[in-house]
Amino acid sequence: MSTPRVVIDNAVCPTATLVKVDSARRHGILLDAVQVLTDLNLSIKKAYISSDGQWFMDVFHVTDLNGNKLTDESVISYIEQSLETTHPDRSHGFDGLTALELTGTDRVGILSEVFAVLADLQCSVVDAKVWTHNGRIASLIYVKDCNSGSPIEDSQQIDRIEARLRNVLKGDNDIRSAKTSVSMAVTHTERRLHQMMFADRDYERKPILQRSTDSPVVTVQNWAERGYSVVNVQCKDRTKLLFDVVCTLTDMQYVVFHATIHTSGDKAYLEFYIRHADGTPISSEPERHRVIQCLQAAVERRASEVYIYIYFDSKSSFLHLTGVRLELCTDDRQGLLADVTRTFRENGLNVTRAEISTTRDMALNVFYVTDAIGNPVDPKIIEAVRQKIGLGNLKVKELPLIYHQKGEREEQTVGVGGAVLLSLGSLVRRNLYNLGLIKSYS
């Protein structure tokens, strides 16, 4: 049976929906299954994977981002149809657009310069994702001609775009490693970003900042009796974690034969039994070290450092925690991203990760920001930036209210004035968690 068989069960587990997949084994099938689930922003709480012989069997325990079981029939139907397709569609609406792939040295303001060049060359940004890691930046940007609304196909225009963006990316000291490419090919954006940063060898570059206590712990050992290499990953749980790890193993040409994924609180524990495509385990210490480096990088690329503001409101006795994640929602226009990111740069904000999208002429953009050296941003600067861009347009993404003296829970948002800024990975956060005053919102 070459067509996968999918069963979605809401009766077995009281806290999660079970998604079972049986299929003939082929390279990449695990990644395809995980990709379908993570593209829907589902949280994978547990997973059991087995693919000895010619058969592949998976069981995923999934919830929505609120921790609820799946009840929407349209979502369930989409999962069934997508998983039962041998090669799921990865276009995600990017047909008819031109894809720009950029890698180079990260620095404050580089995104502002990139979007300024695109605006000047009459390129309209429809969708984009930007990752930074270990002092490197990778971006996949989908554009169209702002006058005709068509993909950019003129060879001279493409040459101009590549040349000017390459000059921006290389700056003064990155002549050899800055890369740009223009393509009409449709690909899965986040997998491609992993591939770009892997090709850029971000995993072996010296980290700009010292690793925090929340950094992933990766071990690799050989099980000689069974001919497997056993990979263990322990890190903070978050959405799309399993996708990031499986994507990297797949692109490094390893085959996952068995795996167990378990989450507890805000921690995730992943164990994989892998071999090379030719059936052999990891054979040398340098290879083992490289696997560890690459998996640590895969986890860290998406896990931008997020900070919290703590408010004590004497009138209501609320404790508010809010992450510094800026969300822009406004009418789309030519040059919008250039103007917004220029304001960030002028105020010393560094964008560590970005997700750009447009829907029905509306810009829906998310920016994760720090100061110029990677530290928390002064709340007064964030407020000044919001005043410049528009308080109604640029908002700080708030975490839900998580503590009230009367024991009530509700969702509430507040401004950023008069806050005390702390790192989510700090001792303060861990103490709050241990005391039961906060819970994970990974």
Both 19 and 115 in a single domain? no
Look up the CATH number of the domain holding residue 141.
3.30.70.260
- Is 102 a domain residue? yes
Last residue of a domain, one of 302, 320, 345: 302
Q: Which of 315, 273, 319, 287 is nearest to 435 (CA)?
A: 319
In sequence order, what are the residues at sequence separation of 6 or more whose Cβ sits closer than 8 angstroms to the Cβ of residue 421? Answer: 307, 308, 309, 324, 376, 377, 378, 379
Number of domains in the chain: 3
Last residue of a domain, one of 250, 284, 302: 302
Q: Which of 349, 354, 346 is nearest to 371 (CA)?
A: 349
- Is 72 a domain residue? yes
Residue carrying the six token digits 């009230």 = 404
Q: Which of 201, 43, 53, 168 is nearest to 100 (CA)?
A: 168
356: left (phi over 0), alpha (psi -120 to 50) or beta: beta
Q: What is the rounded distance in angstroms from the CA atom of residue 110 to the CA atom of residue 91?
A: 28
Both 246 and 333 in a single domain? no
Both 277 and 352 in a single domain? no
Residue carrying the six token digits 């490289």 = 290
Q: Helix, strand or coil for residue 279?
A: coil
Both 344 and 429 in a single domain? yes
Both 193 and 60 in a single domain? no
In sequence order, what are the residues at sequence separation of 6 or more whose Cβ sits closer than 8 angstroms to the Cβ of residue 148? Answer: none
Q: Cα 432 from chain centroid?
A: 26
Both 312 and 337 in a single domain? yes
Give the gyration radius of the chain's Cα atoms: 22
Both 368 and 337 in a single domain? yes
Last residue of a domain, one of 204, 227, 245: 204
- Tokens for 137, please give them: 């930046």
In sequence order, what are the residues at sequence separation of 6 or more whose Cβ sits closer than 8 angstroms to the Cβ of residue 314? Answer: none
Q: What's the confidence (pLDDT) of residue 24? A: 84
- Is 234 a domain residue? yes
Q: What is the rounded distance in angstroms from the CA atom of residue 156 to the CA atom of residue 195?
A: 28
Both 52 and 108 in a single domain? no
Q: What's the confidence (pLDDT) of residue 45? A: 95
Q: What's the confidence (pLDDT) of residue 99? A: 94
* Positions of the chain with pLDDT lower than 70, given as ranges: 1-2, 86-93, 172-176, 206-214, 304-323, 398-442
* CB 83 within 8 Å of CB 15: no
- Is 372 a domain residue? yes
- Is 231 a domain residue? yes
- Tokens for 105, please give them: 């040295």
Residue carrying the six token digits 């547990």 = 46
User: How do strand 43-50 and strand 55-63 relate by DSSP bridges?
Assistant: antiparallel
Angle between helices 189-199 and 285-302 (to 10 degrees): 130
- Is 441 a domain residue? no
Task: Measure Cα distances from 263 to 45, 242, 270 in Å.
Answer: 6, 11, 9
Q: What's the confidence (pLDDT) of residue 308? A: 42
Q: What's the confidence (pLDDT) of residue 208? A: 53
- Is 420 a domain residue? yes
* CB 327 within 8 Å of CB 91: no
Both 215 and 292 in a single domain? yes
Q: Can you spell out the DSSP letters for 340-404?
A: HHHHHHHTT-EEEEEEEEEETTEEEEEEEEE-TTSPPPPHHHHHHHHHHH-TTTEEEEEPPP-EE
Both 241 and 273 in a single domain? yes
- Is 286 a domain residue? yes
Q: What's the confidence (pLDDT) of residue 304? A: 54
Alpha helices in 28-108 (DSSP H): 29-39, 73-83
Residue carrying the six token digits 């931008």 = 304
Tens-digit pLDDT profile for residues 342-364: 999 999 999 999 999 999 889 99
The backbone torsions φ and ψ at residue 149, rounded to the nearest 5 degrees and listed phi first, read 75, 10
Q: What's the confidence (pLDDT) of residue 183? A: 85
Q: Which of 367, 353, 355, 357 is nearest to 332 (CA)?
A: 357
- Tokens for 330, please give them: 């406004």
Both 420 and 313 in a single domain? yes
Q: What is the rounded distance in angstroms from the CA atom of residue 169 to the CA atom of residue 102?
A: 8
Q: What's the confidence (pLDDT) of residue 173? A: 67
> Domain limits at 151?
98-204
The pTM score is: 0.82
Task: Measure Cα distances from 390 to 329, 347, 368, 416 in Å.
Answer: 10, 15, 18, 14
Which helix (H) or strand (E) element contains residue 221?
strand 217-223
Q: What is the rounded distance in angstroms from the CA atom of residue 202 to the CA atom of residue 105?
A: 10
Q: What's the confidence (pLDDT) of residue 53? A: 74
Q: What's the confidence (pLDDT) of residue 408? A: 35
Both 82 and 217 in a single domain? yes
The backbone torsions φ and ψ at residue 414, rounded to the nearest 5 degrees and listed phi first, read -140, 170
